[in-house]
């Protein structure tokens, strides 16, 4: 692994987590692969820039999700190569939204049933873009399953629990956190604290409870830039304390 991939050092070991990723003056290839830029780096860079050109809001969201997901993978003890795969999946998880009509993608009101079914196709569209690339096999599967739910009620395959690849469970938390804390045409952004509360509430149903627990604990320690006020930090720390959390805290231990 080149020096360009060495990020913040933590107890889990080597970490690939370039948090401030989306900078116009820097290239995907240089940040992601350092000085060892190969053909796959150029493929990822080209796809990511295509997303920037077509859907700027989705491009920005994808960069943030990639960084959050790589951090979360590190906090969960995953190695550099796994972090890099998850980071790539974060960058490209919504590339299939280029196949969704803009009138649906940016509709300010509630989607109709038919429109929602079309929106739910975007992970499949992403998979169809990435899966023909031999080196993207794992990435394409993580992208395909990032909207699966822990209780089996997600899409497109209705996988549940550990049937869902861990990388996809990580992407689900990172994707949802960034979506909730970002302004949308149909709703204002939630605060970081509100988003963490929602993740915590949905642990064990929508999200992997262990992944949520790790994410929320790191947020309480300042590991996530989520605009938490000091009273919110104290409240979150208390809520996540095993002796204070009651049955919910026990559930989160998985």
Return d(Cα 80, Cα 62) in angstroms, integer: 20
- Residues in a beta bridge with 10: 13
Length of the chain: 254
pTM of the model: 0.78
One DSSP character per residue, 29-57 reads: HHHHHTT---HHHHHHHHHHHHHHHH-HH
List where CATH 1.10.3210.10 sits in the chain: 3-170
The model's pLDDT over 164-177, given as tens digits with 9 standing for 90+, comes to 999 999 999 999 99
Decide: 212 and 172 in contact? Cβ < 8 Å: no
225 band by pLDDT with thresholds 50, 70 and 90: low
The model's pLDDT over 37-64, given as tens digits with 9 standing for 90+, comes to 456 777 888 888 888 888 988 989 998 9
Q: What is the mean pLDDT of residues 116-131?
A: 96
Question: Residue 26 has what pLDDT?
Answer: 43
Task: Indicate the helix (H) or strand (E) that contains 196.
Answer: helix 192-201
Query: Tokens 């629990």 correspond to what residue?
Result: 161
% of the chain residues with pLDDT over 90: 50
Return d(Cα 219, Cα 192) in angstroms, integer: 9
With helix as H, strand as E and coil as C, how does 66-84 read? HHHHHHHHHHCCCCHHHHH
The model's pLDDT over 51-105, given as tens digits with 9 standing for 90+, comes to 888 898 898 999 899 989 999 999 999 998 899 899 999 999 999 999 999 999 9
Please check whether the domain covering 3-170 is classified as CATH 3.20.20.140.
no
Query: Of 83, 65, 79, which is closest to residue 171 (Cα–Cα)?
Result: 65
Question: Residue 48 has what pLDDT?
Answer: 85
Q: What is the mean pLDDT of residues 216-230?
A: 66
Question: Residue 163 has what pLDDT?
Answer: 98
Task: Indicate the helix (H) or strand (E) that contains 174.
Answer: helix 166-180
């Amino acid at each position: 692994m080149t020096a360009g991939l060495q990020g913040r050092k933590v107890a889990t070991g080597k970490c690939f987590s370039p948090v401030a990723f989306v900078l116009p003056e820097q290239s995907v290839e240089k940040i992601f692969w350092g000085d060892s830029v190969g053909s796959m780096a150029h493929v990822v860079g080209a796809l990511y820039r295509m997303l920037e050109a077509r859907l700027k809001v989705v491009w920005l969201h994808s960069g943030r999700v990639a960084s959050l997901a790589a951090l979360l993978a590190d906090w969960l003890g995953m190695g550099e190569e796994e972090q890099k795969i998850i980071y790539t999946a974060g960058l490209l998880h919504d590339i299939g939204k280029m196949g969704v009509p803009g009138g649906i993608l940016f509709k300010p009101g509630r989607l109709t049933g038919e429109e929602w079914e079309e929106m739910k196709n975007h992970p499949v569209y992403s998979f169809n873009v990435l899966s023909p690339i031999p080196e993207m096999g794992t990435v394409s599967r993580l992208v395909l399953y990032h909207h699966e739910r822990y209780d089996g009620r997600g899409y497109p395959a209705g996988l549940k629990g550990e049937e869902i690849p861990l990388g996809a469970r990580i992407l689900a938390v990172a994707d949802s956190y960034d979506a909730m804390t970002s302004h949308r045409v149909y709703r204002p952004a939630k605060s970081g604290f509100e988003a963490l509360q929602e993740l915590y509430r949905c642990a064990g149903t929508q999200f992997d409870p262990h992944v949520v627990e790790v994410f929320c604990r790191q947020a309480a320690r300042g590991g996530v830039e989520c605009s938490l006020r000091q009273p919110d930090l104290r409240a979150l720390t208390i809520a996540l304390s095993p002796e204070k959390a009651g049955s919910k805290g026990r559930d989160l231990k998985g």
